[in-house]
C-alpha cells in the first residue's frame, strides 16, 4: 500500500492556532480500503506542511538533507508491495509529523532504516546530523540474525527499550514504523502476518498505550484485530456499515450540548468522534445490542482546566448524568499523561451518550502522548523555542541532570529488571507479562517518597521496588498503619512501611513468587532461590509442625488463699504473676485456681454465681508466666527468640510453635522467671527480635 493511499493528504484543521490530529480517519481509510493508487505525490511537501502546522518556525533544511541521503541510499530497493523503499521512511515521517514531532525526531525517522539496510554507517549519520540523530537511528536499528539467531528479535527489543530509557523518541519512531508496516502487511504470507500481529498486540500496542500515543495505539489495535480475529472484525465492520447513520443520534445530542454551553457563556467546541473497530467490538461484548449513540462519543474541547469542570456542571445540571460513568483524569491523570473528564448523559429518549471533556492541550497530549512533549532534553534557555536541530536544542539543566518528563515509573522498573533477565527467552516472556499489566497505582512509603506499581501489586512488589535486593530480608509490612502480610494487595494511595530483617542470611520464601506481580520482584526472588537451592521447599519459619519443649514442672505457686487445706494453682489462661491484681475460685478437689482480675474466666465464674476466694501474693520472687509471640516467619526465628529468653534469665518450661499461616507464626512460651519484676524487660527483649511484631501475656480462657 502506497504512502499516498495510507495518508491521503489530510487537511490539518486549526482552531485557536492549535492543530487537530486526525490519524483515525487515515487509519479507517487503510482498513476500509485504499483510495486510487496513483503516482506518489511530493511526500516531502506533505511532511513539510504537517510539520509547519505544529512548528511554524521550523527549519526544514535539515529534513531536506536527510531526505536526500535516505533517497540516494535506498535507491534501487523496493518493498514487497513493489513500491520504492523510500516510501516507507517517508510514510513513517509523515505519521510523526502529523502527531507534532519536532525536527530531530523527523530527521531520524527519515534515516531510521539507512544503517540497517544500506551502506550508510552510524559514523556518517553522526558526522552529518549530530549525536542525537545518530542515537535515535541506532536505537531503532535491528540486531543481525546472523549474530544473534533466534534471539535477534527479543534482544532487538531489549536494546530498543534501553535506548528508550535514555530518549523516549526512539520508541516514537518504532511505533510509527510498525504502524506503516502493519498498514501494508497484506502482501505478506498469512503466517507471517499473524506472527507480526501477535508481537504488535503483546508488545507494541501496550507500549503505545503506556506512552500515551492513542492515535497510533487505536489504529494498531484495529489492524491487529483484522488479522488475528477476521470473523469478529468482519462482523464489526458490517455492524458499523449497517449503522452508517448512527452518528445522527449523537449529532442531535451534540446540538443540545452546544446550546446549553452557549447559553452558559462557555466557549467550547463540541465534536462527534466515531469509535474505532475494537472499541465498537468491546462495547458490543459489554452491552449486547448497540444503540446509535454507542458508535461514538462526544468530545468537548475548552480553553482552560477550570472550563472543563464548568462544562461538567452544566451537563450534569441540564441532562440526566449516569453517575457510574464519571471519572476525573484531570485531578488524577493516568500514568501515561492522559487527562480528561469522562461522563455520560442520557438524552430525552433515554439514549446514553459518553462525553469526554478536555482542553485543547490535553487533547493534543491524549492523541500524541510523549510525541507532543517535543524534545524532553531541551535546555531551559531553549525551552521556548518551537523546534530546531539536535545541536540547537540539546542542553543540560543547571543541576547537571537531564529533566525528562517522559521517564515514567513503569519504564524505570522495566529498565531495572531487564538487567537481571538472564537470557532472551526470560526477557521476552517477562516483557510480555509486564506489559499486560495496563493499569498503575501510586503508593506512599512511610519514610517518604512515592512508588509507582502496577495494579494488583502486593507488599512483596513494594518491597523490591523500594529496596531492591535488600528486600530479600523483608519480614512483613504495615499498610496504612496496620500490620499486613506480604501477600496483601495494595490500593492506589496506600501508605506502606516495609519491615526488614538485618540478618544477612535471610531470604525470600518460595511462596513469595505467588504474591509477586512485578517482573523485578519475580526475577529477584527466582535468582535468590536458584542461588540458595537448599532453602527451596523449606518453610519460612522453623519448625513447620507444632513442637513442645518441656522442663520439670514445679507445682509451687507464690500465692496464698484464705481457705485452709486448699491447693493453689495459677490459671493457665492468664498466668498471673506478682504484682497482678488477682482473685481465686474454688474448683473440684479442694483446688483454688487463681486468675488475673481482667481475665475473661473471672466474668464467666461470676456469671455462674461462683463465690470468689481472696488471694494474696507471697514473698517468693519466682513466677511462672505464659507469653505469646506473634511474628513474621523467617529462618532462625525460633533460635533467636529462645536466645533472647535465656539472656533475660528466664527458663522455658514449655514452648509451642504453630505452623505458619500467611507467613505469620505464633509462638507460645511458658516461662519461669527468677523475679516477676523482670517480666516487662523480658517482653521488650522478645519484641526486639527481628520479625517479632507483638508479645503479649495469655488473656483467653484455657481450653478443656
Is residue 349 over pLDDT 80? no
Spatial contact of 640 and 544, defined as CB atoms under 8 Å apart: no
Provide the pLDDT for residue 536: 53
Backbone angles phi, psi at 343, to 5 degrees: -150, 175
pLDDT band at 558 (very low <50, low <70, confident <90, very high): low
pLDDT band at 266 (very low <50, low <70, confident <90, very high): very high
Provide the pLDDT for residue 485: 80
pLDDT tens, position by position, 9-56: 333 333 334 444 444 444 444 444 443 444 444 668 888 889 999 989
Identified catalytic residue from 22, 49, 71, 116: 116
Q: Hey, how many other C-beta atoms are within 10 angstroms of the C-beta on 694?
A: 13
* Report field, pTM of the whole predicted structure over 0.75: no
Specify the long-range contacts of residues 45-49, CB closer than 8 Å, at least 24 apart.
Answer: 46/7, 46/9, 46/94, 46/97, 47/90, 47/93, 47/94, 47/97, 47/106, 49/12
569 CB burial (10 A radius; 0-12, 13-18, 19+): middle
pLDDT tens, position by position, 213-245: 999 999 999 999 999 999 999 998 988 888 777
Spatial contact of 344 and 352, defined as CB atoms under 8 Å apart: yes
pLDDT band at 4 (very low <50, low <70, confident <90, very high): very low
Is residue 479 over pLDDT 70? yes
Closest CA to 162 of 509, 412, 378: 412
Provide the pLDDT for residue 15: 34
Is residue 619 over pLDDT 70? no
Q: What sign does the dihedral 199-205-210-211 (CA atoms) show?
A: positive
Spatial contact of 451 and 462, defined as CB atoms under 8 Å apart: yes
Spatial contact of 314 and 259, defined as CB atoms under 8 Å apart: no
Is residue 542 over pLDDT 70? no
Is residue 112 over pLDDT 90? yes
Q: What percent of the chain has pLDDT over 70?
A: 79
Please state, in angstroms and rounded to a whole number, the distance separating the CA atoms of residues 39 and 702.
Answer: 93
pLDDT tens, position by position, 146-164: 666 777 788 888 888 888 8
Spatial contact of 140 and 112, defined as CB atoms under 8 Å apart: yes
Q: Which three cell numbers stand for residue 71?
A: 533517497
- What's the mean pLDDT when you consider all of the chain? 78
Is residue 318 over pLDDT 50? yes
Least confidently predicted of 371-375, 397-401, 586-590: 397-401
Backbone angles phi, psi at 412, to 5 degrees: -60, -40
pLDDT tens, position by position, 454-467: 888 898 888 888 88
pLDDT band at 441 (very low <50, low <70, confident <90, very high): confident
Provide the pLDDT for residue 401: 35
Helix (H) or strand (E) holding 232: helix 230-242
pLDDT tens, position by position, 74-93: 988 998 888 899 999 999 99
Q: Hey, how many other C-beta atoms are within 10 angstroms of the C-beta on 190?
A: 9
Residue whose grid cell is 486468675: 595
Provide the pLDDT for residue 362: 92
Please state, in angstroms and rounded to a whole number, the distance separating the CA atoms of residues 467 and 508.
Answer: 14
Is residue 421 over pLDDT 60? yes
Q: What is the mean pLDDT of residues 687-696?
A: 82
Identified catalytic residue from 22, 71, 117, 404: 117
Please state, in angstroms and rounded to a whole number, the distance separating the CA atoms of residues 97 and 49.
Answer: 9
Instruction: List CB contacts of 696: < 8 A, sequence separation 6 or more.
Output: 627, 628, 630
Please state, in angstroms and rounded to a whole number, the distance separating the CA atoms of residues 102 and 634.
Answer: 55
Provide the pLDDT for residue 543: 38
Say which residue, 85 or 442, is predicted with more confidence: 85
pLDDT band at 427 (very low <50, low <70, confident <90, very high): confident
Residue whose grid cell is 486549526: 14
Is residue 603 over pLDDT 70? yes
Residue whose grid cell is 506478682: 578
Provide the pLDDT for residue 503: 55
Provide the pLDDT for residue 431: 77
In the annotation, is 116 catalytic?
Answer: yes
Q: What is the mean pLDDT of residues 302-316?
A: 93
Least confidently predicted of 51-65, 493-507, 537-551, 653-667: 537-551
Spatial contact of 367 and 211, defined as CB atoms under 8 Å apart: no
Provide the pLDDT for residue 216: 93
Provide the pLDDT for residue 267: 93
What SS3 state is found at 344?
A: strand
Is residue 131 over pLDDT 60? yes
CA distances (Å), 496 to each of 440, 458, 476, in order? Answer: 16, 10, 10
Is residue 395 over pLDDT 80? no
Q: What is the mean pLDDT of residues 236-262?
A: 85
* C-alpha count within 13 angstroms, C-beta hemisphere, residue 561: 23
Closest CA to 412 of 404, 422, 423: 404
In the annotation, is 534 catalytic?
Answer: no
Spatial contact of 583 and 594, defined as CB atoms under 8 Å apart: yes
Spatial contact of 338 and 212, defined as CB atoms under 8 Å apart: yes
Q: Hey, how many other C-beta atoms are within 10 angstroms of the C-beta on 536?
A: 10
Q: Which three cell numbers stand for residue 411?
A: 519504564
Provide the pLDDT for residue 43: 62
Q: Which three cell numbers stand for residue 609?
A: 454465681
Amino acid at each position: 500500500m502506497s504512502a499516498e493511499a495510507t495518508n491521503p493528504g489530510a487537511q490539518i484543521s486549526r482552531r485557536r492556532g492549535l492543530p487537530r490530529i486526525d490519524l483515525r480517519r487515515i487509519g479507517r481509510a487503510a482498513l476500509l480500503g485504499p483510495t486510487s493508487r496513483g503516482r506518489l505525490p511530493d511526500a516531502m511537501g506533505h511532511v513539510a506542511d504537517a510539520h509547519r502546522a505544529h512548528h511554524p518556525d521550523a527549519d526544514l533544511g535539515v529534513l531536506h538533507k536527510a531526505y536526500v541521503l535516505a533517497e540516494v541510499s535506498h535507491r534501487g530497493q523496493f518493498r514487497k508491495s513493489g513500491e520504492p523503499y523510500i516510501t516507507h521512511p517517508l510514510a513513517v515521517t509523515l505519521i510523526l509529523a502529523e502527531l507534532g514531532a519536532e525536527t530531530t525526531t523527523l530527521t531520524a525517522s527519515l534515516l531510521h532504516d539507512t544503517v540497517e539496510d544500506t551502506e550508510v554507517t552510524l559514523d556518517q549519520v553522526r558526522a552529518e546530523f549530530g549525536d542525537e540523530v545518530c542515537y535515535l537511528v541506532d536505537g531503532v536499528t535491528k540486531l543481525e540474525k546472523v549474530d544473534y539467531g533466534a534471539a535477534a528479535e527479543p534482544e532487538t527489543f531489549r536494546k530498543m527499550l534501553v535506548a528508550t530509557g535514555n530518549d523516549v523518541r526512539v520508541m516514537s519512531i518504532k511505533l510509527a514504523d510498525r504502524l506503516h508496516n502493519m498498514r501494508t502487511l497484506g502482501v505478506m504470507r498469512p503466517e507471517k502476518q499473524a506472527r507480526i500481529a501477535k508481537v504488535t498486540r503483546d508488545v507494541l500496542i501496550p507500549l503505545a498505550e503506556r506512552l500515551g500515543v492513542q492515535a497510533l495505539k487505536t489504529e494498531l489495535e484495529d489492524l491487529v484485530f483484522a488479522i488475528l480475529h477476521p470473523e469478529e472484525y468482519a462482523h464489526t465492520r458490517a455492524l458499523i456499515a449497517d449503522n452508517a447513520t448512527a452518528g445522527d443520534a449523537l449529532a442531535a445530542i451534540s446540538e443540545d450540548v452546544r446550546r446549553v454551553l452557549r447559553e452558559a457563556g462557555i466557549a467550547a467546541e463540541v465534536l462527534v468522534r466515531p469509535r474505532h473497530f475494537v472499541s465498537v467490538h468491546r462495547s458490543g461484548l459489554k452491552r449486547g445490542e448497540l444503540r446509535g449513540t454507542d458508535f461514538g462519543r462526544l468530545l468537548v474541547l475548552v480553553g482552560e482546566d477550570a472550563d472543563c469542570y464548568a462544562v461538567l456542571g452544566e451537563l450534569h445540571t441540564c441532562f440526566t448524568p449516569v453517575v457510574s460513568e464519571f471519572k476525573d483524569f484531570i485531578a488524577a491523570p493516568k500514568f501515561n499523561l492522559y487527562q480528561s473528564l469522562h461522563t455520560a448523559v442520557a438524552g430525552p429518549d433515554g439514549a446514553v451518550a459518553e462525553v469526554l471533556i478536555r482542553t485543547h492541550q490535553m487533547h493534543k497530549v491524549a492523541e500524541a502522548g510523549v510525541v507532543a512533549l517535543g524534545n524532553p532534553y531541551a535546555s531551559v534557555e531553549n525551552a521556548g523555542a518551537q523546534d530546531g536541530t539536535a545541536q540547537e536544542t540539546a542542553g543540560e539543566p543547571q543541576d547537571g541532570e537531564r529533566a525528562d518528563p517522559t521517564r515514567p515509573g513503569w519504564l524505570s522498573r522495566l529498565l531495572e529488571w531487564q538487567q537481571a533477565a538472564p537470557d532472551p527467552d526470560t526477557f521476552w516472556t517477562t516483557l510480555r507479562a509486564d506489559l499486560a499489566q495496563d493499569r498503575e497505582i501510586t503508593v506512599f512509603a512511610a519514610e517518604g517518597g512515592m512508588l509507582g506499581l502496577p495494579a494488583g501489586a502486593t507488599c512483596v512488589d513494594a518491597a523490591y521496588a523500594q529496596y531492591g535486593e535488600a528486600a530479600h530480608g523483608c519480614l512483613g509490612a504495615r499498610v496504612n498503619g496496620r500490620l499486613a502480610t506480604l501477600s496483601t494487595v495494595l490500593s492506589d494511595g496506600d501508605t506502606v512501611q516495609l519491615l526488614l530483617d538485618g540478618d544477612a542470611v535471610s531470604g525470600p520464601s518460595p511462596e513469595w513468587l505467588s504474591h509477586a506481580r512485578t517482573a523485578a520482584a519475580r526475577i529477584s526472588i527466582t535468582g535468590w532461590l536458584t542461588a540458595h537451592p537448599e532453602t527451596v521447599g523449606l518453610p519460612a519459619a522453623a519448625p513447620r509442625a507444632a513442637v513442645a519443649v518441656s522442663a520439670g514442672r514445679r507445682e509451687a505457686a507464690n500465692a496464698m488463699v484464705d481457705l485452709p487445706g486448699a491447693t493453689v494453682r495459677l490459671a493457665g489462661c492468664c498466668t498471673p504473676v506478682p504484682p497482678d491484681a488477682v482473685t481465686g475460685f474454688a474448683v473440684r478437689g479442694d483446688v483454688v485456681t487463681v486468675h488475673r482480675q481482667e481475665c475473661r474466666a473471672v466474668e464467666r465464674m461470676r456469671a455462674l454465681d461462683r463465690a470468689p476466694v481472696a488471694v494474696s501474693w507471697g514473698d517468693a520472687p519466682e513466677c511462672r508466666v505464659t507469653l505469646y509471640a506473634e511474628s513474621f516467619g523467617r529462618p532462625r526465628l525460633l533460635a533467636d527468640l529462645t536466645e533472647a529468653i535465656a539472656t533475660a534469665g528466664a527458663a522455658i518450661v514449655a514452648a509451642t510453635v504453630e505452623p505458619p499461616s500467611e507467613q505469620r507464626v505464633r509462638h507460645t512460651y511458658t516461662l519461669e522467671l527468677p523475679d516477676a519484676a523482670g517480666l516487662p524487660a523480658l517482653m521488650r527483649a522478645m519484641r526486639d527480635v527481628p520479625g517479632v511484631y507483638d508479645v503479649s501475656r495469655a488473656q483467653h480462657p484455657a481450653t478443656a
